[in-house]
A and B are shown apart, each in its own frame.
Chain A
Amino acid sequence: MSPRQLGIGVAAMLAVALVMGLYALRMRGRAQTATPPANEAQAVAPPTAGPTEAVTLYVAHDDSGTLEEVSAHIPLPPSGQQRAEGVLRGLLRVYLNSSSPHAIPAAAEIRSVYLVDPGLAVIDINSEFANNHRSGVLVEELTVVSLVRTLTANVSGISRVKILVDGHERDTLSGHADLSCFYDVAAMNQLAEQISAGQ
């Protein structure tokens, strides 16, 4: 190797090192600014007018520890993701009613539902939903099963469901129901049937 080639080689390696350093710096800055602000605008609300569609909601009842199958007509957007969000927001409206059989926090919202191939749905709830949810194994389980069962009953092709809080992973809903896992829809549906039947 000639001295000239050696010099050029060293220069090239140092240039690569510099570029990689700057790239790492840029990525670090991007990661630090990636966290969305707390007051980020909420997802677009589903339409409150227009043609309605019959859906099945699985409504939890705290007093009996069961799920009730309820038919409802709600206006739904056509696409899969917006439809999924509309169905779950329809369920939340039932729970936010003053005569709700399963009260949830007043500020609880579905931020988004992402439908990811193959068969994965990600439900993103807001932090008020989780932070102010009542704490207990049964009461948290009823919320989770109700959400998952209602979603999968009205949107086909979902085999796994993940729940995020404000876009982030969280260990539990409010100290009990596990949110760190991917729910197996078949197992959840079986559980929902068990709960609906009241044992």
Chain B
Amino acid sequence: MRRVPWGLFALVAAGLLPLAGSRFYLYLGTDIAIMALFAVSLNLLLGYTGLISFGQAAYFGIGAYTCALLMVRAEIPFIPSLLAGGLLGAAAAFLFGSFCIRLTQIYFAMLTLAFAQIVWAAAFKWNSLTGGDTGLTGVPFPGFLDSPVRFYYFTLAVVGISLGLLRRVVGSPFGRMLVTIRENPERAEFIGVHVRRYELAAFVIAGFFSGIAGGLFGVFNHSVFPDFSYWTKSAEVLIMTILGGMYTFLGPAVGAGILLSLNMLVTSYTEYWPLVLGLILAALLFLFPGGVMGFLETRLRRRRHSEARGA
């Protein structure tokens, strides 16, 4: 049975968004697209390789600062700056990852957290480079993207291409090996797989795309702050990934959409958003064991089975 290019279809549908004529939803859509990329890149580690990263925001922040600094200080055009953001995110992931992958489970997670906090603290203190806690400001939309619509389409394009590449990665033998490693790292080691090399590679790829997401976010917000690497950002993207469903490719993207939309709705109704959001989060945790996407998938699979039986 031929695979339906569902992701492409969703992309086209998202491309129709500007027709709604509301600039607000354009901004929301841009935000969701960026966080979707961030979350899916994290899921390469989380869902596919079984590595719990508490510090993915490190690469997000590094990507954001790199891209913004190159654009503002060195006047390098957007696309090369963005790519540089991704590359530096990947480089940092290589550096930090080399240490992290020697550890397992909770220790791995803790070390990723420690590195992310170091990035945050460095950004916070290094006033001359990063602008410190008052941030790096005055990052404009690049000349050829000087309207929200254009920036939205550009973001969609970048995110679409990135997701497409990531899809290739997880569908490739490399990606399948990652899943094997997730299932049973010791067995993989026994059959001669250099588990650590695969894990490090996954870490670097995730770092690259997290950096791209960060670069987009910095330009989108016109400013970059140390907060971009703070642990709360890592927690945010982790929640999106798990809630959306870590065992499907686009689950985290759905999670990003849900969480950002939920945040907008809840904060517009009440100042007690932590209470409401916390309750909803807890409820979703109890009700949807595999995340939202996991739930939907099981439902659809069940319906297909009963249809097959019934017919």
A and B co-occur in one complex: no
Q: What residues of chain A have their CB less than 8 Å away from a CB belonging to chain B?
A: none
Q: What residues of chain B have their CB less than 8 Å away from a CB belonging to chain A?
A: none
